[in-house]
A and B are shown apart, each in its own frame.
Chain A
Amino acid sequence: MSNLVSGQTGDWEVVIGMEVHAQVTSQAKLFSGSSTSFGAGPNENVSLVDAAMPGMLPVINEACVRQAVKTGLGLNAQINLYSVFDRKNYFYADLPQGYQISQFKHPVVGEGSLRIELGDGSAHDIGIERIHLEQDAGKSLHDQHPAKSYIDLNRSGVALMEIVSRPDLRSAEQAGAYIKKLRSILRYLGTCDGNMEEGSLRADVNVSVRRPGGPLGTRTETKNLNSVRFIMQAIDYEVERQIEVLESGGEIDQETRLFDTATGATRPMRSKEDAHDYRYFPDPDLLPLQLTEEFVADIRAALPELPDAIKARMIAEYGLSAYDASVLTEERETAAFYEAASENQDKKLVANWMTSELFGALNKAGHELSDSPVSPQELGRLVGLISDGTISGRIAKDVFAEMFASGRPAAEIIEEKGLKQVSDSSQIEALIDRVLADNADKVSEYRGGKDKLFGFFVGQTMKLSAGQANPAMVNELLRKKLDG
């Protein structure tokens, strides 16, 4: 599939790199013991360190380092046993220290990669350049007072991982797939909750366009995008804008831009001329971070199975389609639900039931999988009852609807409503005899060569049994009676 965009004067290639800020899942902040819980009242989660009280010193939170290393391993990245925390100096009202502690020259995680799959089935490996740990800043609230800004330092000092991609992305679609896959891996790893609405995952996108095969164009950076849709919209807007500027003889300014969620447009925030000089230098309050091989090995040994591996296993061992396997592994919770539901059951049948019936019902009810009224075990049991012939697939749909509505177990509903499948051949034969007797004319037609009527007889027999007759036996017995 070509990713080229046609302009007035020819084709353009889009080049995108992303910097994703992922809030580290941890109890305490990166360099202080304050809580990281979301939703606390303003300035409730603030220690003297977070407020930059003179005389306070940062002490690294080992749990956050562990999370960054885990994330690096999950992205097949090199772990740097030696890394350094630097100060990034700039003035802003919600940055009480006057600098952010970050990692500049020596990040904790080096090069890795992440595989994305697109709607057309193509797969692309996107390079990860680095991951570093840094502090988040506080929040400025400009809408609380007509003349003043309020500052909430709850986020001040919270650990972030900045995950920097190579400029390997070639379209908004790829960028969307990248952020979704990254979010999925972070959630599998448990290193970031991935809640974009709460700001746990934010992206800056660097976009440029060039003639195919030509030198890289000047890029713009659109900051702080907090949804997959916004990321894709911002890229589309930038691509169109940049091509228009270039084709009308203009030049792209290397600048930082903001995305307007209301209009879907980007606008300049600050240009290169008044770009900050961050005056990075190693933070003298902290020693270089030195990790041992054992520390990394322990984290590696405890790494959970990741979506690509689970998907491959589902295809190879369970015989699932690539599509079903993709859907079932996109989220950690979905894969866990599936594994629990399909334990000792027909793997393919459970996959079908999950992707069609369960997801359909959840969608319709506006529920998340975590709120499913049908537990994985109960879904598994329902499928088991189909497999062992207790109920037909047709009846199972009704049973499922009842389970979904009431949360009751399948066996109970089947028992109560007498929905057990009829597999007694004499009972089924009696039904067939009635159908044939009532439709003598069609029997003659069938025997006269109108083969297609076979389905009609099956349908009538099933109907007469209120759907409870074992369909395989109906088929077999009908064939005997009509053809025998």
Chain B
Amino acid sequence: MKPTYGRCSRWGIVAFASSLDQAGPFTRTVADSALMFASMAGHDAKDSTSANIALPDLNAAMQAGVKGMKIGVPSEYVIEGMDPSIIALWEQGQAWLRDAGAELVAVSLPHTRYALPAYYIIAPAEASSNLARYDGVRYGARLDNGGSLDDMYEATRAAGFGAEVQRRILIGTYALSAGYYDAYYLKAQKVRQLIRSDFDTVFATVDAILTPATPSAAFALGDKQDDPVTMYLNDVFTVPANLAGLPGISVPAGMSGAGLPLGLQVLTNTFREDTLYRVAACLEAQAGFTGLPPRHVLADR
């Protein structure tokens, strides 16, 4: 579950991309998630981006059921080559909510396809700056080869950061460079605004949005290292809410053909975590998910 940006203080969290970073709980049940979230949320004067907005009654929300709610199904949340079991699960999710009394309506979030590229400009740009402090002077394991200060920086950062982190630092540094800033960073920020206004428009007519959590099931550890774009594509359905600062939750709801768990994602307007948990509780109850990871994963432990 990812709370609204500003709900949980970022103070004390090692920063990756400050405008996107938001702490959220991983739990086994929706009720546990709500309990964790309620404990984590709250205004913090030490975080300037922290919001001072009262938390809604989550317990009441989880009891309320979805009867009478309007839930949007965005036509843009389908990509080429998507796992058919995921599309089937999405349709199943819509049916569960309809059975529980919600009204499902088709909605459009036209700028969705630009979210991933915008995210992969903004997040690395901020990361390139946030990770600058791990330079071997005060933070990071120093690698002093007896050369100049710049030599020490280069050796320390080359040894300390993994390949994916280095890739993101390079992308971010490039996107912020003189002459490229307008074309990349500024453009990405404009896209971010458009994505936010897509959601604003849709939330004027619906209470929540239902989407698949990912276009495919989880890939194996160490996979896709040589194909970062495919790896990044796995975030395609979750980053729009991240860019817009909206709360979202992924509820395990079914299994892929290979026996891997699949999630359904619920999104609501900012600071409406009550609505989020209301829909999530219904999905959890309807799905009755009991899936376990494949036996060999457990055996490896």
Binding site for B on A (CB under 8 A): 51-52, 54-60, 87, 89, 91-93, 96-99, 151, 277, 279-281, 283-287
Jot down 5 A-B pairs with beta carbons below 8 A, ordered by A. A57-B11, A59-B48, A98-B131, A151-B137, A279-B181
Q: Is the CB of B132 within 8 A of A55?
A: no
- In the assembled complex, the CB of B208 is this many whole angstroms from the nearest CB of chain A, namely 27
Q: Is the CB of B18 within 8 A of A281?
A: no
Q: Is the CB of B176 within 8 A of A281?
A: yes
Is the C-beta of B108 less than 8 angstroms from some C-beta in chain A?
no
| Size band of the interface chain B makes with A | 20 to 34
Is the C-beta of B273 less than 8 angstroms from some C-beta in chain A?
no
Q: Is the CB of A279 within 8 A of B173?
A: yes
- In the complex the two chains form, what is the Cα distance from A237 to B10 in whole Å? 51
Residues of A within 8 A of B185 (CB): 281
- In the complex the two chains form, what is the Cα distance from A321 to B29 in whole Å? 85
For B13, give the chain A residue with the smallest CB separation: A55
- In the complex the two chains form, what is the Cα distance from A60 to B13 in whole Å? 19
Q: Which of B182-228 contact A (CB under 8 A)?
A: 185
Once A59-B48, A87-B129, A281-B129 are accepted as A-B contacts, the answer to whether A54 and B177 lie under 8 Å apart by CB is no
Q: Is the CB of A89 within 8 A of B47?
A: no
Across the interface, A99 reaches (CB within 8 A) one of B17, B129, B149, namely B129
Q: Is the CB of A55 within 8 A of B11?
A: yes
- In the complex the two chains form, what is the Cα distance from A287 to B47 in whole Å? 10
Across the interface, B48 reaches (CB within 8 A) one of A51, A60, A99, A281, namely A60
Residues of A within 8 A of B14 (CB): 54-55
Across the interface, B138 reaches (CB within 8 A) one of A51, A91, A279, namely A51
Q: Is the CB of A281 within 8 A of B181?
A: yes
Is the C-beta of B15 less than 8 angstroms from some C-beta in chain A?
yes
Given A277-B178, A279-B173; 16 other pairs, CB 8 A cutoff: A52-B138, A55-B11, A55-B13, A55-B14, A57-B47, A58-B48, A59-B45, A89-B128, A91-B135, A96-B138, A98-B135, A280-B176, A284-B18, A285-B15, A285-B49, A287-B49
- In the assembled complex, the CB of B196 is this many whole angstroms from the nearest CB of chain A, namely 15
Q: Which of B115-145 contact A (CB under 8 A)?
A: 125-126, 128-129, 131-133, 135, 137-139
Is the C-beta of B301 less than 8 angstroms from some C-beta in chain A?
no
- In the complex the two chains form, what is the Cα distance from A438 to B72 in whole Å? 121
Q: Is the CB of A91 within 8 A of B48?
A: no
Residues of A within 8 A of B12 (CB): 55
Q: Is the CB of A96 within 8 A of B48?
A: no
Q: Is the CB of B129 within 8 A of A91?
A: no
Residue among A59, A91, A284 with the most chain B CB within 10 A? A284
- In the complex the two chains form, what is the Cα distance from A57 to B47 in whole Å? 6
Q: Is the CB of B132 within 8 A of A99?
A: yes
Q: Is the CB of B178 within 8 A of A93?
A: no
Is the C-beta of B237 less than 8 angstroms from some C-beta in chain A?
no
Residues of B within 8 A of A99 (CB): 129, 132
- In the complex the two chains form, what is the Cα distance from A57 to B13 in whole Å? 9
Is the C-beta of B46 less than 8 angstroms from some C-beta in chain A?
yes
- In the complex the two chains form, what is the Cα distance from A98 to B139 in whole Å? 11
Once A55-B14, A284-B126 are accepted as A-B contacts, the answer to whether A279 and B139 lie under 8 Å apart by CB is no
For B172, give the chain A residue with the smallest CB separation: A279
Across the interface, A279 reaches (CB within 8 A) one of B137, B153, B177, namely B177
- In the assembled complex, the CB of B86 is this many whole angstroms from the nearest CB of chain A, namely 32
Q: Is the CB of B133 within 8 A of A96?
A: yes
For A53, give the chain B residue with the smallest CB separation: B139
- In the complex the two chains form, what is the Cα distance from A151 to B13 in whole Å? 26
Is the C-beta of B19 less than 8 angstroms from some C-beta in chain A?
yes
Q: Is the CB of B137 within 8 A of A93?
A: yes
Once A277-B178, A287-B48 are accepted as A-B contacts, the answer to whether A97 and B15 lie under 8 Å apart by CB is no
Once A54-B15, A279-B176, A281-B125 are accepted as A-B contacts, the answer to whether A97 and B47 lie under 8 Å apart by CB is no
Across the interface, A57 reaches (CB within 8 A) one of B46, B138, B181, namely B46
Residues of A within 8 A of B126 (CB): 281, 284
Q: Is the CB of A97 within 8 A of B133?
A: yes
Q: Is the CB of B15 within 8 A of A55?
A: yes
Residues of B within 8 A of A283 (CB): 18
Residues of A within 8 A of B149 (CB): 92-93
Interface mask (B1-41 → A, CB under 8 Å = 1, otherwise 0): 00000000011111101110000000000000000000000
For A90, give the chain B residue with the smallest CB separation: B132
- In the assembled complex, the CB of A446 is this many whole angstroms from the nearest CB of chain B, namely 88
Once A57-B46, A91-B153, A93-B137 are accepted as A-B contacts, the answer to whether A98 and B129 lie under 8 Å apart by CB is yes
Once A59-B45, A98-B133 are accepted as A-B contacts, the answer to whether A277 and B138 lie under 8 Å apart by CB is no
Once A59-B48, A286-B48 are accepted as A-B contacts, the answer to whether A96 and B15 lie under 8 Å apart by CB is no
Residues of B within 8 A of A151 (CB): 137
Q: Is the CB of A285 within 8 A of B18?
A: yes
